[in-house]
């Protein structure tokens, strides 16, 4: 008789990419997961979790689950992160390390291999179903290691012409040369010479916009907008 399906279909992960097993597995599968992990530790194939400390030092090692492979109602594979941490309490020095392991249960044994630590967590965040990361390291499918997505928005720099007809910043009057790259940081609510925002890309050439009030210190009548 096959075990029942997990109670939840949504994969719940923390900010580092580790699974919250109790959120995605039912009690039966959770017990199987713990049994497989503990068996690998007992066989010396995974490092044993611990916590220790005294007045001078604190040290611990945790095992976090990054994926679970279910096959015919049984937990057959795991991706496990072994995360160690050490701290010198008085001096404040710290040291940490991470290793990732693929744990597979076969009919007669448990196989554990080390997997790429540089991309494992990133790939885990790109999975949409349990078992995908395990199957990636088995060579059965590919989970891409995507770059983090970042939101973009458009701001427009307000320029004016000084008495000699040169473009200057309408905010602080500094010279603005269109043939030279100029980088400035701005927030959505900034007042440092930037105006409207949107979700498109920065324009590569100056573009006209509605003309805001011209600062009294500038004598030109024309306002323009540039990247």
pLDDT tens readout for residues 23-52: 889 999 999 999 999 999 999 999 999 999
Measuring CA to CA, which residue among 216, 218, 213 is closest to residue 160? 218
Long-range contacts of 71-75 (CB under 8 A, 24+ apart): 72/2, 73/1, 73/2, 73/3, 73/4, 74/3, 74/32, 75/29, 75/32, 75/33, 75/36, 75/105
> What is the per-residue pLDDT for 158?
82
- Distance of alpha carbon 150 from alpha carbon 143, whole angstroms: 20
Whole-structure pTM value: 0.61
What per-residue confidence (pLDDT) applies to 82? 97
Digit-coded pLDDT (tens) for 101-120: 999 998 889 999 999 999 99
Q: Note the pLDDT of residue 185.
A: 64
pLDDT band at 175 (very low <50, low <70, confident <90, very high): confident
């Amino acid at each position: 008789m096959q075990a029942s399906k997990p109670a939840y279909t949504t994969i719940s992960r923390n900010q580092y990419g580790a699974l919250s097993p109790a959120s995605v597995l039912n009690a039966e599968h959770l017990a199987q997961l713990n049994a497989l992990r503990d068996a690998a530790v007992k066989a010396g194939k995974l490092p044993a979790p611990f916590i220790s400390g005294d007045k001078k030092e604190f040290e611990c090692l945790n095992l976090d689950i990054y994926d679970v492979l279910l096959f015919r109602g049984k937990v057959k594979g795991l991706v496990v992160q072994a995360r160690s941490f050490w701290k010198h309490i008085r001096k404040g020095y710290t040291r940490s390390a991470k290793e990732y392991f693929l744990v597979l249960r076969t009919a007669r044994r448990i196989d554990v291999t080390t997997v790429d630590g540089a991309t494992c967590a990133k790939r885990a965040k790109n999975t949409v179903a349990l078992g995908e990361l395990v199957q990636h390291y088995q060579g059965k499918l590919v989970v891409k290691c995507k770059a983090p997505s970042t939101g973009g928005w458009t701001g427009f720099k307000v320029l004016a012409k000084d008495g000699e007809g040169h473009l200057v910043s309408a905010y602080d009057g500094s010279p603005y040369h269109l043939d030279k790259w100029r980088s400035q940081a701005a927030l959505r609510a900034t007042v440092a010479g930037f105006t409207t925002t949107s979700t498109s890309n920065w324009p590569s050439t100056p573009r006209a916009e509605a003309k805001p009030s011209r600062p009294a210190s500038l004598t030109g009548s024309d306002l323009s907008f540039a990247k």
